[in-house]
Amino acid sequence: MNIFLTYDYELFFGESTGSVDKCLIEPTNRLLNLSKLFNVKMTFFVDVGYLIKLKEFAIDNLELAIDQQKVLEQLKCIIESGNSIQLHIHPHWENSFYEDGNWHIITDKSYKLDDFSDEEIRRIVRNYKYFIDTLTGQKTTAFRAGGWCIQPFYRLKELFKELEITIDSSVFPGGKFFSLHYDFDFTNAPNKAKYRFESDVCIEDLDGYFTEYPISSWRYSPLFYWRLYILGRLFPSKHKMLGDGIFLSQPGRKKSVLTNFTWNHVSTDGYYASKLNTCLKSCEKRNFSDMVIIGHPKSMTNYSFQVLENFIKDNHTKHAFRTFKELL
């Protein structure tokens, strides 16, 4: 089986973005150390809007110039170590700005691409892709939507063809969430290792131009989330996120997951990592050819790093850890 370890390389988007060191540099370096130790490769979906804003405001802010240097050096290390960088778009950066020593994140009516006009979408996606391709000297062909908000895909279809973006990895089958900012519904997505599609990411089309590599998903029980929240309070040194920012609010979600079974992604983030081997066995039982695991450097914990290391150690000789760059 092909296992794709994928990481959304980004800050937080709530009341505090957190620091570059705690959210990106330090946890990503730990991931790269694991990559080197076991010779397994990872894909980093880099939040390009942040890089563009960082470049813009670093001109007049020394602290951002220092952050920019750290990030660029790390992205260079990711590439030189054989790992992959792909396109990740959080378009709220279009309206966000830096002032008085803080990032002011504007997410209202700008969190997802669908919040923008067709002309604005074309400008954003073209500019972001050109920026990351130029920066890395490599051609990105895979995409992950910020906040999983890939729908409606028909608004992106022709633009993605023009830019030769052929792979998406935004869907996690069964997932669904609506709020002021989020809007995605994958309840009818094919529960497959991968599938082709054309105009709708949830409808398989054998002749479709695009290939969806869904993020593996799992039906989590309320008990799982009770454990997640309780362990975080009882053993913060193991279960506290390494990132020091605040998540964008998801009203009603905490109550929902504590009282209902919920479909969510398979992840290396925090206590979610406890399900890695269980989910792998499920994929093996269904004869899946591929398993996509999501993570966020900012959301890793000391516990999840230990579980991830054991997962890689146990499986790196049994399965192929691949990147989306290898699918060119």
Q: Give the model confidence (pLDDT) of 141-176 as tens digits.
A: 999 999 999 999 999 999 999 999 999 999 999 999
Judging by beta carbons within 10 Å of its beta carbon (0-12, 13-18, 19+), is residue 164 exposed, middle or buried?
A: exposed
Judging by beta carbons within 10 Å of its beta carbon (0-12, 13-18, 19+), is residue 269 exposed, middle or buried?
A: buried
Reported as a single tens digit per residue, the pLDDT across 234-266 is 999 999 999 999 999 999 999 999 999 999 999
Residue 98, helix vs strand vs coil:
strand
pTM of the model: 0.97
With beta carbons less than 8 A apart as the criterion, state whether 96 and 106 touch: yes
Per the structure, the complete domain to which residue 83 belongs is given by 2-327
Question: Any idea what the CATH number is for the domain that residue 117 is in?
Answer: 3.20.20.370
Distance from the first to the final alpha carbon of the chain? 18
Reported as a single tens digit per residue, the pLDDT across 74-126 is 999 999 999 999 999 999 999 999 999 999 999 999 999 999 999 999 999 99
Sequence-distant (6+) residues with CB within 8 A of 157 are 198, 199
Give the number of domains in the chain. Answer: 1
Joined tokens for residue 26: 């330090």
